[in-house]
Amino acid sequence: MTPGELPVAVSELRAALGPTGVLAPGDPAAGFVRDERGLLPARPAAVLRPRSTAEVAAAITICARHRVPVVPFAGGTGLVGGAIPLGEESQLVLSVRGLDRIRNVDPADFALTAESGCVLADVQRAAEDVGLLFPLRLASEGSARLGGAIGTNAGGSNVLRYGMLRDLVLGLEAVLPDGRIWHGLRSLRKDNSGYDLKQLLIGSEGTLGVVTAATVRLVPRPRHQAVALLALPQSTVLTALFALARECFEDRLTALELIGRTGMDLLITQLPDMKDPFARPHPWYLLVEATTTRDGAGLAAQLESFLAEAIRLELAADAVPALDRPQARALWGLREALPEAEKRAGGAVKHDVSVPLGAIAAFIADVERELAAAFPGVRVNAFGHVGDGNVHVNVLTGFERAHTVSALVFRVVAGYGGSISAEHGIGVLKRDSLTVTREPLELELLRTVKTALDPLGIMNPGKLLAVSASSAE
């Protein structure tokens, strides 16, 4: 992009999108473009607000012609800076919030088609209206949007049973970096006809195009729920406890969520309404959930059997089962309030990592030990969706230590053959750490894909991979 091309592109974009379709960076209506954690400045050259796939295509065509960098933006709930424009008013933000229609719900096909600007909670409600469930479950589902969730391959607390978003997306519609529209909205469960193109876009963080709509998989809505909180004597029981839970609940097991002593202390001290459900403190807690569409009595019996066996085998020191839905919501409230408790305590350097299931306890012990040695007195809040290997290692310290703290955590993750991002993506904050767990050949192949689909380097440059628009010229 030459210096004079950006103003020309913006002028053409105003003509294509209309007077309300392009916001100046200082316009109050553009204030939604910000970093959720306040770590990165957001200074776009302009904010584009297309209202249809055709308008997205028109906008990207103009940007490609002038080689203007474009940053796709959805709900803005990301934690790694993946949707934040870089530089000083040199990149355009393209918001998909105007693409907010539920296009079709097909109960017979267990499928729903929605545009990328739809709030996840609205997608869930549309599924519930026909007696089905869209099983993506996130703390931010009231503000996160479908396009952003697809861009980061979101996970959440139901991954154990239903998988990541990769497992829930059946088809996509997307505008490619040259402005062409790929019409890939299919609801087929089996299609063995070559490369699965949608999987390139899922988790690509807007670096390969703009997802404008998706067809997602729905499942029967559970009508019965079994929830309990277990007090663990130590973290080393986790592997055996996981195996027991799978054996007792079979395919009904939905979630296994870990809370540590640090997390429980944060909840109690920072949120007055929160209380430890047990009479005495314990080092670790495990929240267990199983659901079923029928046979609630059988599910309750499975929970009772699981808790009794866990205590008999000394895998749990105590347990609190939820006797009704309000009690179940209260137990889940402990897990879901952890981020807010952290924030009130002054924030943390966050790490969303994953390791093999059998290594979770050893990994937590190692990373806590190494952090304590390197930063005496630091507190570590380790928690998360451990049933699928995802641990949030959040270190309660100032952001000025972020680089050295994260380097230590990622080094331990690499030693266990893990990933530095289980579900939040790479963005810009983790970009330079990707080499810790990805081999050179893997990075070369990722760059090959990027170059093939976005030869001009205009789609979200500087995110995920260190590829910028200028480097492609």
User: Which pTM value belongs to this model?
Assistant: 0.93
Average pLDDT in the 279-294 region?
Answer: 97
CA dist 446 and 454 (Å) reads 12
Contact 430, 441 (CB under 8 A): no
| φ, ψ for residue 363, nearest 5 deg | -60, -50
pLDDT over 90 (residue 36):
no
Chain segment 416-471, per-residue pLDDT in tens: 999 999 999 999 999 999 999 999 999 999 999 999 999 999 999 999 997 544 44
pLDDT band (50, 70, 90) for residue 325? very high
pLDDT for position 37: 83
* Percent over 70 (pLDDT), the chain: 98
Q: Hey, what amino acid is at 71?
A: V
pLDDT for position 4: 73
Average pLDDT in the 133-149 region?
Answer: 95
Half-sphere exposure of 208 (CA within 13 A, CB side): 25
Which candidate, 78, 89, 100, 82, places its Cα nearest to that of 47? 89
Residue 339, SS3? Answer: helix
pLDDT for position 473: 40
Return the residue matching tokens 């997802």: 211
Q: Which CATH code is given to the segment(s) 5-98+449-463?
A: 3.30.43.10
Half-sphere exposure of 346 (CA within 13 A, CB side): 9
Top CATH class of 224-340 equals alpha beta
Judge whether 5-98+449-463 and 102-220 match in fold.
Answer: no
Contact 149, 83 (CB under 8 A): no
| Radius of gyration of the chain from its Cα atoms, rounded to whole angstroms | 23
102-220, CATH topology level = 3.30.465
Average pLDDT in the 232-236 region?
Answer: 96
pLDDT for position 17: 97
Interaxial angle between packed helices 238-249 and 296-312, expressed in degrees from 0 to 180 and rounded to the nearest 10? 150
Average pLDDT in the 141-148 region?
Answer: 96
pLDDT band (50, 70, 90) for residue 356? very high
pLDDT for position 467: 53
pLDDT over 80 (residue 472):
no
* Tokens coding 44: 């776009």
pLDDT for position 469: 40
Question: In the chain, count of helices (H) and strands (E)?
Answer: 16, 18
* Domain at 347-425: CATH architecture: 2-Layer Sandwich (3.30)
Q: Where are the domains of the chain?
A: 5-98+449-463, 102-220, 224-340, 347-425
Beta bridge partners of 392: 352, 383
